[in-house]
Amino acid sequence: MPRAYNFSPGPAMLPESVLRQAQATMLEYGDAGASILEISHRGADFLAVAHQAEADLRTLLAIPDEYAVLFTSGGATTVQALLPLNFAAPGQPCDYVVSGHWGKTALKQAAPCADARIAASSEAGGFRDVPPREQWRLSPDAAYVHVTANETIHGVEWRDIPAAGNAPLVADFSSSIASGPLDVTQFGVVYAGAQKNLGPVGITVVIVRRDLLERAGQPRAPVLDYRAQAQAESMLNTPPSWNWYVLGLTVKWMLEEGGVAEFARRNARKAALLYDAIDASGGFYRNEVVPAARSRMNVPFFLHDPALDARFLAEAKQAGLVALKGHRVLGGMRASLYNAMPEAGVQALVEFMHGFRNAHG
């Protein structure tokens, strides 16, 4: 089977040119006499890779100098567990605005080490919208306010994340980072697992305003300490060097393609194609998220008759469209349309959906 259009939520489709470069350097990296997988993270070759990746990410996302950029392992989930340890004093409340499964996860990961509070939640409505700012009940002395920029499972995305007041906003951008312009200065912390828009699984980007690194937080081992990691340039211990390298290739590809403004245009077109097809299907397909909060990255949708789900997936696969099965929390289907998914892939999906409806509607 040739490479399909891969709608996986993550690990997700990567640009073919990135995979080919990674393939070429797998055996020999430059004149190192070894694979990039085999060289020291403290040697000149890898340090150049690491520094270039950070510089390119800073350019791509317009990250100012007053923010440190950390490259960590353990995924976004580990960041969620470390947020209160690094940024909240013992007993200090941490506020969570919950707009879907991943907001709940962030709260759950923080809870053992924090007074983690739900400031607002859209769960009662089935996570079909974001909780509007006027419903947020913030703690006056909160260490931070956590939001999920894009809910990967529920397909709910903030268009504009409101300001939180005095406490810094901490935002999980795992599934929408670099999908469009981002004003980093609105946030105290922005974090994202790489395996959707930034490259391979196994590395996570944590962008932290440097003054927050001075917070005492709670007792923790040095390896869990973001200040220590920033001082050590994310090399307090051996970093996931291969993942860092492929992330760098992916970031460079995004810059060459025109940067986040160009991806915002492409992603708006791709999402409109799919939502329009769903909405024009006369109820054969449906997406239940309120239009103003529909994600441009992850589009969950349901067939009017779930008995057709297995057939839909099997025929889609035959048509070269893979990984459309919805998350077990919601069922149905989900198409993830990250930056590496070309518009032609979404067109092919929409045509397939049209044909499937004609055959089974």
Give least dist CB 352 to ligand PMP, A: 25
Annotated active-site residue 253? The verdict is no
174 forms part of the interface with ligand PMP (CB under 6 A):
yes
Catalytic residue selected from 56, 95, 115, 172: 172
How far is 212 from 216, CA to CA, in rounded Å? 9
Q: Which amino acid is at 358?
A: N
**Residue 172 binding ligand PMP, by CB under 6 A:** yes
d(CA 94, CA 111): 9
Catalytic residue among 95, 102, 115, 325: 102
The answer to whether residues 65 and 55 touch, using CB atoms and an 8 Å cutoff, is no
DSSP label at 227?
H
Q: Report the site for ligand PMP in 263-282 (rule: CB under 6 A).
A: none
Taking CB under 6 A as the criterion, the residue among 6, 8, 10, 274 binding ligand PMP is 10
- Candidates 122, 175, 241, 295: give the one binding ligand PMP (CB under 6 A): 175
Contact flag: residue 148 with ligand PMP (CB under 6 A): yes
Sole window of 21-29, 168-176, 254-262, 340-348 interacting with ligand PMP (rule: CB under 6 A): 168-176
Residue 196 annotated in active site = yes
CB neighbourhood size of 222 (10 A):
12
For ligand PMP, the binding residue among 15, 93, 193, 200 (CB under 6 A) is 193
Q: How far apart are CA 121 and CA 310, in angstroms?
A: 33
Compose the 61-90 pattern: x for residues touching ligand PMP by CB under 6 A, - for all others.
--------------xxx-------------
> Taking the CB of residue 45, how many other CB atoms lie within 10 A of it?
15
Is the Cβ of residue 29 or residue 158 nearer to ligand PMP in the bound state? 158
> Cα torsion for 214, 231, 183, 77, to the nearest 10°?
-90
Which of 56, 115, 196, 244 is catalytic? The answer is: 196
Dihedral, 101, 104, 109, 113 alpha carbons, nearest 10: 180
Burial letters 303-313, b for 16+ CB under 10 A, else e: beeeebbeebb
Active site residues: 102, 172, 196
Chain residues binding ligand PMP by CB under 6 A are 10, 75-77, 102, 148, 152, 172, 174-175, 193
